[in-house]
Amino acid sequence: MNWINDPNGPMYYNGIYHLFYQYNPKGAVWGNIVWAHSVSKDMVNWEALEPAIYPSESFDINGCWSGSATVLPENKPVIFYTGIDPNQYQVQNYAVPENLSDPYLRKWVKPADNPIVAADETMNKTAFRDPTTAWKIGGHWRMVVASRRKQRGMAYLYRSRDFRKWIKAKHPLHSVPNTGMFECADFFPVSLSGDTGLDNSAFGPNKHVLKVSLDLTRYEYYTIGSYFPEARDKYVVGKGFVDGWNGLRFDYGNFYASKTFFDPSKNRRILWGWTNESDAAQDDAQKGWAGLQAIPRKVWLDPSGKQLLQWPIEEIETLRGQNVQLSNQELKSGEHIEVKGITAAQVDVDITFSIPNLDKAEPFDPSWTNAQDLCGLKGSTVQGGVGPFGLLTLASEKLEEYTPVFFRVFTGLYKHVVLLCSDSGSSSLRKEGLYKPSFAGFVDVDLDDTYKISLRTLIDHSVVESFGAGGKTCITSRVYPLVAVFDDAHLFVFNNGTETITADVKAWSMAKPDKMNN
């Protein structure tokens, strides 16, 4: 029930995954914010516990906002979070488990030396929040707090020797003009090769990622670069990365305030993100809940070094049931073919499309810099040469409603340009009260080498989460069909390009998760 937003303090501790999240115990709108708490052994089946952190002291009396967990080397977790004080100022607090031998860490205490960090006179006291997981290099711990200075996004850096007394570094870790407020900064190392994750304190031959959520545009972007802890403690964005609102995104759809953590049990880095509703506040009040956490994703560096890759955690496959396959399925121009025998409202689909001939791809106009605008212009029914081809998810039998997830291939100056769209324009017959954007992102693949491209989509009633080209471009959409629900939802593969495409489709009905111990 009720409202949830940002994932907070994800961590793994003694065999249990913990996820906290911003939660309103009193309704399905944002407000009265506490840290709700859920625990799991596999990040699929969860047990909801009592809220772990809620307003109780002067330093958080007006709200317990977002933050992160750090598991100290002696295996002791500490939470950092933002408290809203009696002046509505944002201060950074810490909390520790009351009893380390409680396997669920239900109760958290806020030591008396809180707050540990407050904005000084040069800073914006009402725009200073969301402390990161801390990392230690040499004798010093570090953490970042997100902020702004006028319209410059700021990632302030703090250092501590004892984890209690935190001092602001002379220079911020990073700052960017004209982005507006940074929220929920996340800073972490990635291995140069392979998909193994690194602990936040790992330092060596690796790269670092800085992600910020932009309050103004309500989406996030990340850059990959180098971190120099010994040289002014600076993060330097790598060559070729766009450092601003037009940068690379974890997700080109409805996905915000995300946060990663290192999972030492499987040596991987996991990404959590909040998916807001796209219906109206009165709909949320009526259904009694709003917001969800997207399926956790493993994240690592693409071998090219030019971007990250993401993939739904392997544990999600434990929900797979009935499986159907279409092998080498030809899709001629204008065809749509149903994937029958699965529960199309709750399904995991994995497809590889083969493109026999790229010659007929439409020319790419270099003025098309905005993927979402391009998808709005060239929707799933606008015939192209190579594509649009892909999936019609949550479709009614006669296609009065459908959410297409599809590729379109263009001929660019040097190589083919690939667009992935998740278009909610036709997702619902409902005319009013829904936000129906045509989310899209470009996919950095070399089709000229492979003539193949893959698409994995996880569908769950109102959620469509898509991973293009092995997790290079990801898009999450929220849609609210009226007809294509439960057993009346269908799944099709389609091709509206002039060129024939073939598809290898695997689809699995997905079961509902259970409580943690069942």
> Active-site residues: which are they?
6
Distance in Å, CB of 213 to ligand DQQ, minimum:
6
Of all residues in the shown chain, the one whose CB is closest to ligand DQQ is: 65
Whole-angstrom distance, CA of residue 26 vs CA of residue 148: 31
Distance in Å, CB of 175 to ligand DQQ, minimum:
17
* DSSP element (H, E) containing 376: helix 371-377
Cβ proximity to ligand DQQ, 25 vs 238, nearer residue: 25
Strand 452-460 versus strand 346-354 pairing type? antiparallel
Cβ proximity to ligand DQQ, 82 vs 372, nearer residue: 82
Q: What is the 3-state secondary structure (H, E, C) of 391-420?
A: EEEEECCCCCCCEEEEEEEEECCCCEEEEE
Distance in Å, CB of 481 to ligand DQQ, minimum:
27
Cβ proximity to ligand DQQ, 63 vs 387, nearer residue: 63
Cβ proximity to ligand DQQ, 69 vs 374, nearer residue: 69
Whole-angstrom distance, CA of residue 106 vs CA of residue 95: 12
Which of 273, 269, 272, 271 has the alpha carbon at shortest distance from 254? Answer: 273
CB 207 within 8 A of CB 306: no
Distance in Å, CB of 24 to ligand DQQ, minimum:
9
Which of 64, 106, 61, 108 has the alpha carbon at shortest distance from 85? Answer: 61
Distance in Å, CB of 68 to ligand DQQ, minimum:
11
**Cis geometry, peptide bond prior to residue 366 (ω within 30 degrees of 0):** no
Q: How many residues does the chain have?
A: 518
Whole-angstrom distance, CA of residue 37 vs CA of residue 23: 9
CB 2 within 8 A of CB 28: yes
Distance in Å, CB of 30 to ligand DQQ, minimum:
7
Q: Following CA atoms 71, 73, 74, 80 in sequence, which dihedral angle do they give, to the nearest 10 degrees?
A: -30
Cβ proximity to ligand DQQ, 35 vs 439, nearer residue: 35
User: Bridge-partner residues for 453, per DSSP?
Assistant: 353
Which positions lie near ligand DQQ, rule CB under 6 A?
5-6, 22, 33, 65-66, 82, 129-130, 183-184, 256-257
Write down the residue that tokens 């909801």 correspond to.
48
Strand 403-411 versus strand 362-363 pairing type? parallel
| Alpha-carbon radius of gyration of the chain | 23
Cβ proximity to ligand DQQ, 65 vs 467, nearer residue: 65
